[in-house]
Amino acid sequence: MGDVQQKMMNILFSDPKSMFFYWNCKENSWQVFGDYISRMVSDTENPLQVLLVKDLVLPEDKNVFEIFMSQIEKGIKIGIEEHKLEVQCHLNCKEGFQWYKIITRFIKNEQKQIVEMAGSLEPMTDIEIMQKKQMVHITMDRNPQVFSAAVREQFAKYPDDNFAFIQFDVEKFKMINELYGEDVGTEVLANILDTLKSLCNKEQLYARLSADLFMVVTKYQDEKQLVEFIHYLESHLDHYKDIHYRLAFGVYLVTEKTTEIRHMGDSASLARKTIKGNALQNIAFYKEDLKSTLYSRKFVEDNMGNALQTGQFVMYLQPKYSIADNEMIGAEALVRWIHPELGTISPINFIPVLEENGFIVKLDEYMWEQACIAIRRWIDEGKKPVPISVNVSRVHLLKDQLIITLKNLLEKYRIPRELLELEITETVQNINIDRVIRSLKKEGYTLLMDDFGSGASSLNTLKNTPFDVIKIDREFLNDFIESERGQKIIAHTIHMTKDIGLDLIAEGVETKEQAAFLQDCGCDMAQGYYYAKPMPISNFDELF
Ligand code: C2E
Ligand code: CA
Ligand code: CA
């Protein structure tokens, strides 16, 4: 080493608190520059002993340090992708525990095994320490990698502790923007981030995931204490100046620390979504069966009122076709629940609950009105309107109110009676239901017997029926069309139905062959994916 270099080295290593090291695998030699640790590494042959500052590491940092060490060991034995590794931890010094960073750089062979290693151990500067404390908080903002790394670090540090992911968002945040302006909205969110910074201790990680969505990862003792912590957060975060808003919290309790961090976050997110818009509950814990209970009775009942009010129930139209000339002759109105967070929820997931609790009456009336609005618009736009059939739940048929409601709607929108058709599923015979259906018939509505061929309906129901059209059920069609025998049953059902003067439409027609077969049997109308799927009204308009 030349003179100048030697001097440089002396300057470099004059800092008594730093240490530099170099290790060579082939020669198994190592060199240490710097006074601070030299007493620790005086008489050892294992190069890694250079880093045997282990005993100086603050107990709380031991895990982090050991992970660092094991990565290097693995790098020597098996190989490693990284060219550099770094760890930050407290080391015991004369003045007590101080923040240090240890950085090593590697030279590797073709097998990626470490063959040479040079590094330093230096006290961290005040700025670095400050950044270290805030690092997670600053850089984690929309940086999932940093966030995951920080969480992993916490897990490593506290292997025996319980951890929870708490995700929360501001309910109806859009409203704040609309009411107070976007600047205020931005202030609200900045304030949440600032407040989180002061509410969370240095072990608790927090991040802003997107505009109004935040995550906190924390240790906890038990659920009671965790809920208290959430209430504590909420009490400081749910207002800004005199603007008050609601926060919805989803909680995931970490059971297996090796799970991907992303999945843990997703689980908290899922829990939060189950209580979106729920006026009674704003903290939800993730449970394993949450996915299946997402559309559970409770979810539906807690959210249906709000969904109807905020226009989440949307009318889709599925066109009906005349098979012979392939012409669109009408449509069925089918409801879709377009949830702001969960996306489209299929009616099979909520209609049964709504039928049980009676809310279906409100939803159906809403759908009928939507159908009337569409027909009115077509007429006003000078289009030749096609009839829309709406589903009438059997719940309506227990009361006479239905007749008045329909009449009022048709009058309000000045809709010719033949343009609003009614689909009713005929199941068990009931005198009262029969009476209401007959009244509808007398009023002049076109009545379609829905789901014919499925379960409860039978040929018996066709005797003296007030219905005009029989709708062959999708499942009945699909099951029976499979076999020759089944095809015969379909064919005979169609013949007989025509024979007693009823019209027929087949539901759930998915292939050209099915359409052809139905036509051969004498069924002239069809509805199904082969023709078109249910679609939003804007798409349906294009079919004219
Ligand atoms: P539905 O009245 O029997 O309606 C036909 C169902 O078959 C619809 O399902 C439709 O999307 C589906 N479909 C139509 N063509 C095909 C096809 O080619 N292949 C397959 N695989 N499916 C097809 P959706 O929209 O999921 O509705 C399910 C049920 O929910 C409806 O059965 C109806 O009973 C009920 N529903 C839907 N909207 C309303 C409503 O506004 N009020 C009431 N009371 N019930 C409704
Ligand atoms: Ca139907
Ligand atoms: Ca059906």
Residue 75's CATH number:
3.30.450
Domain annotation covers residue 379: yes
Q: How many Cα atoms sit within 13 Å of 45 on the Cβ side? A: 2
Helices (H), 275-350: 290-293, 297-309
User: 209 and 192, same structural domain?
Assistant: yes
Domain annotation covers residue 295: no
User: 88 and 178, same structural domain?
Assistant: no
Question: Which of 366, 391, 473 best tests ligand 1's pocket when mutated (most atoms within 8 Å of CB)?
Answer: 391
Q: Which of 124, 149, 180 is the last residue of a domain?
A: 124
For position 275, what pLDDT does the model report? 84
Q: Is 178 a catalytic residue?
A: no
User: 487 and 361, same structural domain?
Assistant: yes
Q: Spell out a b/e string for 10-29, using b for 16 or more CB atoms within 10 Å of the CB, else e.
A: eeebeeebbbbbebebeeee
Residue 510 near ligand 1, beta carbon < 6 Å: yes
Q: Which of 100, 124, 148 is the last residue of a domain?
A: 124
Residue 122 near ligand 1, beta carbon < 6 Å: no
How far is ligand 2, taken at its centre, from the CA of residue 422, in Å? Answer: 9
DSSP 524: -
User: 8 and 111, same structural domain?
Assistant: yes
User: 474 and 380, same structural domain?
Assistant: yes
Domain annotation covers residue 94: yes
For position 373, what pLDDT does the model report? 98
How far is ligand 1, taken at its centre, from the CA of residue 445, in Å? Answer: 21
Q: What is the CATH number of the domain that holds 200?
A: 3.30.70.270
How far is ligand 1, taken at its centre, from the CA of residue 188, in Å? Answer: 43
pLDDT < 50: residue spans in the chain: 1, 12-13, 38-48, 50, 135-140, 142
For position 94, what pLDDT does the model report? 67
Residue 528 near ligand 1, beta carbon < 6 Å: yes
Which of helix, strand or coil describes residue 399?
A: coil
User: 343 and 489, same structural domain?
Assistant: yes
Over the stretch 437-493, which tens digit does the pLDDT of each residue have? Answer: 999 999 999 999 998 887 655 666 777 789 999 999 998 898 888 889 889 989 998
For position 467, what pLDDT does the model report? 93
For position 42, what pLDDT does the model report? 44
User: 483 and 369, same structural domain?
Assistant: yes
pTM of the predicted structure, to 2 decimals: 0.55
Query: What ranges make up the beta strands (E) of 443-521?
Result: 447-452, 469-472, 503-507
Residue 367 near ligand 1, beta carbon < 6 Å: yes
Q: How many Cα atoms sit within 13 Å of 228 on the Cβ side? A: 7
User: 198 and 83, same structural domain?
Assistant: no
User: 438 and 387, same structural domain?
Assistant: yes
Of ligand 1's listed atoms, the one at least distance from the Cα of 316 is 25
Query: What ranges make up the beta strands (E) of 191-302?
Result: 205-210, 213-220, 239-240, 243-244, 247-253, 283-285
User: 112 and 184, same structural domain?
Assistant: no
Helices then strands (H, E): number in the chain?
18, 22
Domain annotation covers residue 292: no
Q: Which of 286, 313, 340 is the last residue of a domain?
A: 286
User: 203 and 106, same structural domain?
Assistant: no
> Which of 203, 507, 510, 513 does the annotation list as catalytic?
507
Domain that holds residue 194: 131-286
Domain annotation covers residue 502: yes
Q: What whole-number distance in Å separates Cα of residue 367 and Cα of residue 534?
A: 14
Domain annotation covers residue 294: no
Burial class (CB in 10 A: 0-12, 13-18, 19+), 386: buried
Q: What whole-number distance in Å separates Cα of residue 387 and Cα of residue 116?
A: 81
User: 241 and 160, same structural domain?
Assistant: yes
Q: Which protein residue's CA is at the shortest distance from atom 43 of ligand 1?
A: 391
Residue 449 near ligand 1, beta carbon < 6 Å: no
Domain annotation covers residue 85: yes
How far is ligand 2, taken at its centre, from the CA of residue 531, in Å? Answer: 16
Domain annotation covers residue 296: no
Residue 344 near ligand 1, beta carbon < 6 Å: no
Query: How many domains is the chain built from?
Result: 3
Q: What is the CATH number of the domain that holds 400?
A: 3.20.20.450
